[in-house]
């Protein structure tokens, strides 16, 4: 059922710098992922599948592709009279700067937050790929009487993520300590950047922090107030991964390719991941093709060999081409007898006949959008 007492906020630009090649022309939220999605689809779908029908997306920069993807919000059922999707670009006034952290981003969207009537706010980043029962997390937040509930995952810390929060808990899952170090080697409980908080409390905390010129939600609000605020953790058992570098993007894709359980958890029919459709034909497998262990979206035409790779919509692989351990984004054209291994191509890349190119598992080659190789 729809719940009318929770709204969502997504930060599609936070941590853009972690994947610099892919965010050269777009925000983190609009990075293509897993054949037919954009990273923001996972946050949006989690919110919508929890019954939330009002979502603000606080855009910062490079958001044309994001606007194109989100349009009216129809694919997520967010084209509404009441609520729906709100794209909130930077509010350009002489005294406002472009955001540097969550606090000033929220300050820039303050009128949207203040004009809302929902009691709670769920805030999400866009560099986490997960599909979990957010409704249960909201219920738990209300039941425990927490001020703040943050989703976390147990495992190895994403290394490149400088300000990722990791937590220590007491026996009731209340957070007793927040660490902001990326130097922890052993398994720990790190944040998935999904935070539930009461709207009025958020407004109060943001305005106070903003007056002190603070910008970082974790460092300036949560960490110093770990004893004043009741902060609880919500563990996500199912597959969840944080993108903190181009390599981690490739690794997460590979993990999904290799791990059928992770695939099942991320794409459960209970909570579909929604995205903008493109109305491509189904993929056409040619007479001489040999495709194994691969994820393939619609609209591809495959006449060559494809192994352990991800093909996005509209990729063409000509006869004699051999693609191994590659990620080929939308509408890439791979010519005859091309041999590529451990290569990730952005959209619209053309690799001409006969080209050979190879990266290493630990260092995949990345080819930028629209390149002609």
Partner 1 sequence: MKKTECIAMLLAGGQGSRLGVLTEQNAKPAVPYGGKYRIIDFPLSNCINSGIDTVGVLTQYQPLELNDYIGSGKPWDLDRLNGGVHMLPPFQRSKGADWYKGTANAIYQNITFIERYDPEYVLILSGDHIYKMDYAKMIKQHKETGADCTIAVLEVPMEEASRFGIMNCNEDGSIAQFEEKPKNPKSNLASMGIYVFSWKKLKYYLEKDKDNPKSKNDFGKNIIPDMLSSNEKMQVFHFNDYWKDVGTIDSLWEANLDLLNPKIELNLSDPNWKIYSRSPSAPPQYIGKTAEVQNSLITEGCEIYGKVDFSVLFENVVIEEGAQVNDSIIMPGARICSGASVHYAIVAENAVISKNAKVGERPENTSNLEKWGVSVVGAGLTIGEDAEVHANVMVKQNIKAGEKL
By CB under 8 A, is residue 171 in contact with partner 1? Answer: no
For residue 283, the minimal CB distance to partner 1 (Å) is 6
- For the stretch 135-138, contacts whose Cβ atoms lie closer than 8 Å and that sit 24 or more positions apart, written own/partner, are 135/3, 135/49, 135/50, 135/51, 137/50, 137/194, 137/196, 137/234, 138/3, 138/6, 138/50, 138/196
Query: CB 137 → partner 1: shortest distance, Å?
Result: 22
CB nearer partner 1, residue 2 or residue 74: 74
Is 297 near partner 1 (CB under 8 A)?
Answer: yes
Contact at 8 Å (CB) between 257 and 295?
Answer: yes
Kindly determine how many residues on this chain lie close enough to bind partner 1 according to the rule CB under 8 A.
35
**In the set 152, 239, 274, 366, which binds partner 1 (CB under 8 A)?**
274
d(C-alpha 35, C-alpha 240), whole Å: 18
Q: Which is nearer to partner 1, 38 or 141 (CB)?
A: 38
Regarding 35 and contact with partner 1 (CB under 8 A), the answer is: yes
User: Of the two residues 98 and 288, which places its CB atom closer to partner 1 in the complex?
Assistant: 288
Q: Does 1 bind partner 1 (CB under 8 A)?
A: no
68 is a contact residue toward partner 1 (CB under 8 A)? no
Beta pairing partners, 235: 152
Among 281, 356, 358, 372, binds partner 1 (CB under 8 A): 281
Which residue lies nearer to partner 1 by CB, 76 or 152? Answer: 76
Q: How far apart are CA 105 and CA 180, in angstroms?
A: 20
Q: How far is CA 358 from CA 292, 325, 367, in A?
A: 19, 10, 12
Q: Which residues are CB-neighbours of 372 under 8 A, at least 6 positions away?
A: 349, 350, 352
348 part of the interface to partner 1, by CB under 8 A? no
- In this structure, the number of other CB atoms found within 10 A of the CB of residue 30 comes to 27
Determine the interface stretch with partner 1 among 99-107, 173-181, 277-285, 337-345 (rule: CB under 8 A): 277-285
Task: Identify whether the C-beta of residue 39 lies closer than 8 Å to the C-beta of residue 243.
Answer: yes
* DSSP strands (E only) in 18-58: 32-33, 37-38, 54-58
Closest to partner 1 by CB, 277 or 356: 277
Q: Which of 273, 322, 327, 332 binds partner 1 (CB under 8 A)?
A: 273
369 binds partner 1 (CB under 8 A): no
Decide the pairing of beta strands 290-292 and 305-307: parallel
* Shortest distance (Å) from residue 359 CB to partner 1: 22
- Does 272 bind partner 1 (CB under 8 A)? Our answer is yes
Report 303-322 residues binding partner 1 (CB under 8 A): 310, 314
Write down the least CB distance from residue 288 to partner 1, Å.
Answer: 8
71-110 footprint of partner 1 as x/- string (CB under 8 A)? ---x------------------------------------
- Exposed/middle/buried for residue 206 (C-beta within 10 Å: 0-12, 13-18, 19+): buried
Q: What would the DSSP string read from start to end of 220-262?
A: IIITTTTTTS-EEEEE--S-EEE--SHHHHHHHHHHHHH-HHH
Closest CB 272 distance from partner 1, rounded Å? 4
At its nearest, how many Å lie between partner 1 and the CB of residue 114? 33
Given 32, 73, 299, 304, the residue binding partner 1 (CB under 8 A): 299
Residue 141 in contact with partner 1, rule: CB under 8 A: no
Burial of 84 (0-12, 13-18, 19+ CB in 10 A): middle
Shortest Cβ 36–partner 1 spacing (Å): 5
Can you list the alpha helix ranges (DSSP code H) found in 153-245? 199-211
Q: Which stretch binds partner 1 (CB under 8 A): 62-70, 82-90, 207-215, 276-284?
A: 276-284
Instruction: Give 178's contacts (C-beta < 8 A, 6+ positions apart).
Output: 165, 166, 167, 218, 222, 223, 226, 231
Interface ranges with partner 1 (CB under 8 A):
34-36, 74, 263, 266-267, 272-275, 277, 279-299, 310, 314
């Amino acid at each position: 059922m729809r719940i009318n007492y929770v709204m969502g906020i997504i930060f599609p630009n936070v941590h853009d710098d972690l994947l610099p090649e892919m965010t050269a022309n777009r925000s983190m939220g609009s990075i293509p992922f897993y054949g037919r999605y954009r990273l923001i689809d996972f946050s949006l779908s989690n919110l919508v599948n929890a019954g939330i029908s009002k979502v603000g997306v606080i855009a910062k920069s490079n958001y044309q592709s994001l606007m194109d993807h989100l349009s009216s919000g129809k694919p997520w059922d967010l084209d509404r009279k009441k609520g729906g999707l709100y794209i909130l670009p930077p509010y350009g006034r002489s005294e406002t700067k472009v955001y540097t952290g969550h606090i000033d981003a929220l300050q820039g969207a303050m009128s949207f937050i203040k004009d809302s009537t929902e009691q709670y706010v769920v805030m999400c980043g866009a560099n986490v790929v997960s599909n979990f029962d957010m409704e249960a997390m909201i219920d738990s937040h209300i039941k425990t009487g927490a001020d703040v509930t943050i989703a976390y995952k147990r495992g190895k810390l994403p290394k490149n993520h400088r300000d990722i929060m990791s937590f220590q808990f007491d026996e009731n899952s209340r957070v007793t300590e927040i660490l902001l170090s990326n130097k922890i080697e052993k398994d720990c409980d790190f944040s998935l950047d999904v935070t539930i908080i009461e709207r009025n409390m958020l407004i109060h905390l943001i305005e106070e922090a903003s007056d002190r010129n603070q910008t970082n939600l974790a460092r300036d609000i949560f960490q110093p107030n770990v004893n004043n605020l009741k902060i609880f953790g919500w563990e996500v058992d199912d597959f969840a991964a944080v993108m903190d570098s181009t390599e981690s993007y490739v690794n997460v894709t590979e993990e999904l390719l290799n791990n059928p359980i992770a695939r099942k958890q991320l794409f459960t029919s209970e909570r579909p991941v929604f995205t903008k459709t493109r109305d491509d034909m189904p993929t056409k497998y040619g007479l001489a093709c040999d495709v194994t262990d691969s994820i393939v979206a619609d609209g591809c035409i495959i006449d060559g060999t494809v192994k352990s790779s991800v093909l996005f919509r509209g990729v063409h692989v000509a006869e004699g081409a051999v693609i191994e351990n590659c990620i080929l984004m939308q509408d890439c054209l791979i010519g005859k007898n091309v041999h590529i291994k451990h290569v990730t191509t952005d959209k619209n890349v053309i690799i001409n006949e006969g080209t050979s190119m190879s990266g290493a598992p630990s260092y995949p080659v990345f080819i930028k959008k629209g390149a002609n190789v």
